Amino acid sequence: MLSFVILCLALITVYCFFLNYRFHATNPAASTFAAKPLSDDELANLAYPSTKDMADWIRNTNPPTGRAYIVVGGSGLVGQCIIKSLLGRGETLVRNIDVVAPSPFGDPNEGDHVSRSEFVEANVTDYDAIKTAISKPFGDPSLNVTAQVVIHTAGVIRHWERLAYLKPLCHKINVGGTKNVLKAAQELGTVRAFVFTSSVTGFITPGKYLRFWLQNPLVFGDEPIQEALLSDSHYPTSKREADALVRAADNTKGIRTGVLRPGMAIVGPGDQYITIVSHCCTPLSGYDLSWSASIQRFAKTKDQIQFGAEIKPISGDALAKLTYPTAEDMGKAAGSPTGKAYVVVGGSGFVGRYIVRTLLGRGETLVRIIDVVPPDLSGDAGAKDHLSHADFVKADVTDYGSIKDAMTRPFGNTGITAQVVIHTVGVIRHWERLPYLKHLSQNVNIGGTKNVIKISQELETVGVFVFTSSAGVFLPPANYLRLTRNYGVVFNDDIPSGMPLSHAHYPETKREADGLVRAADNIGGIRTGVLRPGMAITGPGDLWITFYLNNTRPNSVWSGEYFQNIINPWDLARAHIQLADALEARPDELGGSAFAITGQPTASSFDDLRKVIQACCRRNLNFEPVPALPLYILSHLTEAILAARFYVLDMLSGILGRKPSYIPQWAMVGGLAKLQPAMWDFAFADYIIDDSRVREVLGYQNLWSNEQTLKWTGSRCVNAAVMLFVFLLGALGVYAYLLNKRLTTAHHAAHEHSSKPITDEDLATLTYPTADDMANAAGPPTGKAYIVIGGSGLVGAYIVRTLLGRGETLVLIIDTTPPNLSGNSKARDHLSRAGFIKADVTDYDSIKAAISRSFGGTGVTAQVIIHSAEIFRPYERLPYLRGLSYSVNVDGTKNVLRAAQELGTVRAFVFTSKDAPQGMPLLHSHYADSKREADALVRAADNVKGMRTGVLRPGMSVLGVGDVWSTSYLKNSEPNFVWGGQCFQNIINPWDLARAHVQFADALEAQPNELGGSGFAVTGQPTACSADELRRIMQACCHRDLQFQPVSVLPLYVLSHFMEMFFMIRFYMLSILLAVNLQPALWDFVCADYVIDDCQIRKALGYRNFWSNDQTIKWIVENLKETPNSVERANTIP
């Protein structure tokens, strides 16, 4: 066996090797078609045609025709170029039909600007709209000039999809839309030419990576290829079908048709290839993740309830006076005793025990409980409804022999056997849906029900059989990620035709058992009936309210906006007995029936229910709202991890010598096993049960309101608290608690260094320094030649402005992008007064050439260099991402140092480091490690070739107009999700930091032996401030609600580890690098207390901060609108 396993592993390894080779290897024949690579010099001198060149070429080769042109999809990448080409060659009758207006970029005075074409909004999937847009006359309607040429480019590109349920997303537009445009053009009668933009992807064979021994064809032309060999993904399939439609329509009603099949990639500004790469994968860029609108169902507003009236929250006084029915009341409400022999299968369970108590309470004497565990006999043993008055037989419904013995046993010495069977047994695992777990529900819910039905039929004395089903059998699943038909929120016994039903194991098995019971009606003389309670059965010992009451830690809750009914187990128990009685009295009318049933007919939101239960409780239940989306994502990861664990261990079971458990103990103890996608189908959706039929047919009425149920539950759950508390004291629970506390609580020592919060009145009158103030504070000019590396960035720009403001005339910016030149160009500190050279610190030749260049015609070269360029990726720590930070922060610093040393004229070199990397224990994200290494390189280079070096370590956050942190809040129109607000950190204004750099450079000249090779921590206001306080100040200064919404840290912290693991696997498996901020190393900076002590720099350089925290925040809020370009640049930094 072991040899076979080793052989299989060896074969898999060899296969993976060749598969990996196939992914990376190039077809040798491809080199014959490859273009000669351009050298760097050729690329630098390469020119491309201007828009005017293209227009002149088209006009010379294809002069204007004077025809009326329609471009369908003219706002797209290809469509806009077609329109510009038509306008450029002199056409005047050009119309763009699209669902969105074209981009207005460019000079509107140019002859080919898209504004010179007519735009009509229409959707190709709407035939009437597209027909109207195409048939509309050009210009004066009386001239009746209509379209003569139609160029159809509209299409949806979803080439990554191939599963059947996604097919409409492509085919609706690419095929259906093309049919509509063709039909409208044919009916118009004036169209003579129809050109369709197809795709070469529809006519080439897909890559055969998994069958690496097969060689892909290399050259594809117009020759047909066997259909079976072509790609079956939806985009090429739909394009292929539309292509054929257009060609088949040739010469129909005088229209000649033609098709162009571009391939492979259409590349240009705004494309889906180069543009995305340039925005997503460059070291100094980030990207935004977006979800479809349907995911916003997680943050839904309260919809109007479609059934009944929403209950009004009960007042505290009314709740205190509220009473609820007693057990005696419930016994009397169940009617008179019948004297029959009752068997309650599952009578020790939550619902079963109330059925037994109701039977005993109304006077029944022959009542038997069959269950795998005995009932709880706590309470008054002398009470009429005490469970000790019922007979108990232990049996398992999955064991036919044991359940048969229990059901056929006579009641005492009476010789009477069961006459009424009420079957309530069920396994509730509504969070599971994968095949390997189905038997856990199926064995009991289906197999057990079959056994109980069969024995009841064989017993021959049973006349009535009542089954406890679930409302889940007729409810559709919640579709968060799909836009599907809306079936409403009110559900009764009638299931809408075609409505999808949940395939989680609990509702699926209950649905099958439900059908078995109804199909068994009138077989062997037994009349059957089914009750489908919904949604939550709520009372002492239930699955959700009881957990809140017994949990001593904060109760994390989410999706409180959803509305559902609840039902009290007393009401449900009485309904079972009413149905059993009715089946005896009206067998032909009710036999085989199923009834939806609930408690109070009007629904309540989860938030309203929690408010009531909190009001009933004598302690704070600590309900903490958390965002649903991270948990929803985590639920999918949990499901995948648990499944992978089982299947891997199952394959290794032959070696390990034992079968794995289906659910590990650690997942059950911590409750993680329940956080799976299927859980969301019922727990977080609007479901309102219409049980009007059971009320009309059986005369059922709920005796318990929602408030009565919740008050009763709160008063009866004290006894279970100790057991649940012990249960929750597992190692994982304790660790999670401590971790969450660490993430959300500030260090006690941080409060000693915190600043006193500013009042709103003081904030309103608060002023801050001007640019002139900052320039004057920097001292007199030195006349030296300054180079600022990274001078277009946030910190670098203010260093340059400080130098210019104090009167320096020889200032040069070196950066990969030019500085933002907005603002008053006449100001002394305007960045246009500094020189600019484009260079990349990772390219030694370019950075050397930039540093060595003399200033204007003076012949003077650099004497002082301030190096502030960096890449800020604090969220990465895994080896495969190391190069992204080290290439700029370490290698770039080496290049700048080397170039400065070789120049020979540089006397002072100041480097912008970071204070956080110097903490103990050391942080080990790539950003921290790379800054620490660069910091040491600069200090070690002191006095090499006469150059004195120094390092400034600002901390923690540099906040100014255009920074990463505050800008994201101020520019975001959606709610701002925040966390870590209790942590204290310093901030520093970029003006203060800039002046510190200039002071340090001056001091290195004046005191080289004392300060050379030094490193100084530097911050703004010495006292720290919590993130919550900074946000409060920001909100107070802002004219709109910034909608700060706190979220729980712990789920995000856990999710960050999953995200890191996911992107690492994705990189190594697919060789695709994606930078995502939510990774564990991020938390080293954002959720920690850091108070910077910069007393050394204040003593050595005389540095002092001009800006307080309050001034900085107010300055950012009031000036952000003045520098939109810098904001956009700041938003591109990860």
For 1110-1129, the pLDDT digits (tens) are: 666 556 566 654 333 333 33
Tokens representing 553 are: 């830690």
314 Cβ contact list (under 8 Å, min separation 6): 322, 612, 615, 707
**633 contacts 699 by C-beta, under 8 angstroms:** no
Would you say 927 and 872 are in contact if contact means Cβ atoms under 8 Å apart? yes
Question: Mean of the pLDDT values across residues 984-994?
Answer: 83
Neighbours of 81 (CB within 10 A): 18
The predicted pLDDT at position 745 comes to: 55
How far apart are the C-alpha atoms of 342 and 416, rounded to whole Å? 10
Q: Is the pLDDT score of 933 beyond 60?
A: yes
Q: How confident is the model at residue 271 (pLDDT cuts 50, 70, 90)?
A: low
In whole angstroms, give the CA distance from residue 870 to residue 887: 10
3-state secondary structure 389-417: HCEEEECCCCCHHHHHHHHHCCCCCCCCC
**Averaged pLDDT for residues 16-33:** 55
Q: Return the higher-pLDDT residue of 747 and 1052.
A: 1052
Mean pLDDT, to the nearest integer, of 847-862? Answer: 89
The DSSP 8-state label assigned to residue 161 in this structure reads: -
- Whole-number pLDDT of residue 125: 92
Between these two residues, 339 and 1134, which has the higher pLDDT value?
Answer: 339
Highest mean pLDDT among 390-399, 651-660, 1090-1099: 390-399
Q: Report the pLDDT value the prediction gives residue 307, as an integer from 0 to 100.
A: 40
Between residues 833 and 548, which one has the greater pLDDT? 833
910's tokens: 């100041």
From first CA to last CA, the distance across the chain in angstroms is 52
Residue type, 212: F
Instruction: Report the chain's mean pLDDT, rounded to a whole number.
Output: 79
Least confident of 930-939, 1079-1088, 1112-1121: 1079-1088
d(CA 650, CA 657): 10
* CATH architecture type of domain 764-1131: 3-Layer(aba) Sandwich (3.40)
Which stretch of DSSP H or E encloses residue 332? Answer: helix 327-333
Q: Does residue 48 register a pLDDT over 90?
A: no
Q: Top-level CATH class of 316-724?
A: alpha beta
pLDDT at residue 800 is higher than 80: yes
Burial 95-122 (b: 16+ CB within 10 A, else e): bbbbeeebeeeeeeebebbbebbebbeb
Per-residue pLDDT at 890 exceeds 70: yes
Residue 303: the pLDDT is 34
Helices assigned H by DSSP within 392-501: 400-408, 438-442, 449-459
Cα angle 740, 745, 747; round to 5: 130
Residue 130, both tokens: 């597209």
CA-CA distance, 859 to 855, in Å (whole number)? 6
Bridge partners (DSSP) of residue 789 are 814, 867
d(CA 845, CA 898): 11
User: Which of the four pLDDT bands, split at 50, 70 and 90, describes residue 726?
Assistant: very low
pLDDT in tens, 534-543: 888 888 888 7
Long-range pairs, 228-232, Cβ under 8 A, ≥24: 229/205, 230/202, 230/203, 230/204, 230/205, 230/206, 231/201, 231/202, 231/204, 231/205, 231/206, 232/162
Q: pLDDT value at position 194?
A: 95
Q: At what angle do helices 505-519 and 449-459 cross, to 10 degrees?
A: 20
Cβ-contact 1051, 633 below 8 angstroms: no
Q: What is the mean pLDDT of residues 184-211?
A: 79
Per-residue pLDDT of 430-468, as tens digits, reads: 888 888 888 888 999 999 999 999 999 999 899 999 999
Sheet strands (E) in 890-983: 908-912, 948-954, 957-958, 976-978
Return the pLDDT at 1021.
80
Q: Is the separation of the CB atoms in 453 and 491 below 8 Å?
A: no
More confident residue, 1077 or 319: 319
pLDDT at residue 1080 greater than cutoff 60: no
Residue 564 has a pLDDT of 85
502-to-472, 473, 678 alpha-carbon distances in Å:
8, 8, 8
* Domain chopping of the chain, boundaries: 51-280, 316-724, 764-1131
Strand order of the β-sheet with 341-345 is 391-394, 366-371, 341-345, 420-423, 464-468, 527-533, 593-597
Q: Does position 962 have pLDDT exceeding 80, yes or no?
A: no
What is the sign, positive or negative, of the torsion defined by CA atoms of 243, 244, 247, 248?
A: negative
Q: What is the percent of the chain with per-residue pLDDT over 70, rounded to a whole number?
A: 75
Question: Tokens representing 306?
Answer: 């479609």
Quick one: tokens of 858? 């003076």
| CA 944 remoteness from chain centre | 51
Residue 1060 pLDDT class (50, 70, 90 cuts): low
pLDDT score of 1108 more than 50? yes
DSSP code for 447? I
- The pLDDT confidence band at residue 799, using thresholds 50, 70 and 90, is very high
Model confidence at 725, pLDDT cuts 50, 70, 90, reads very low
> Is 1102 or 76 the better-scoring residue by pLDDT?
76
> Which of 595, 436, 473 has the alpha carbon at shortest distance from 531?
595
* Domain spanning 51-280, CATH architecture: 3-Layer(aba) Sandwich (3.40)
Per-residue confidence (pLDDT) for residue 807, from 0 to 100: 92
Predicted local distance difference test score (pLDDT) of residue 784 = 93
Separation between Cα atoms, residue 9 and residue 387, nearest integer Å: 59
pLDDT for position 357: 94
pLDDT tens digits, 349-400: 999 999 999 999 999 999 999 999 999 898 888 899 999 999 999 999 999 9
In this chain, the answer to whether the domains covering 51-280 and 316-724 adopt an identical fold is yes
pLDDT above 70: residue 578: yes
Of the candidate ranges 49-53, 160-164, 379-383, the one whose mean pLDDT is the lowest? 49-53
The whole-angstrom separation of Cα 788 and Cα 808 is 13
| Global pTM value | 0.43
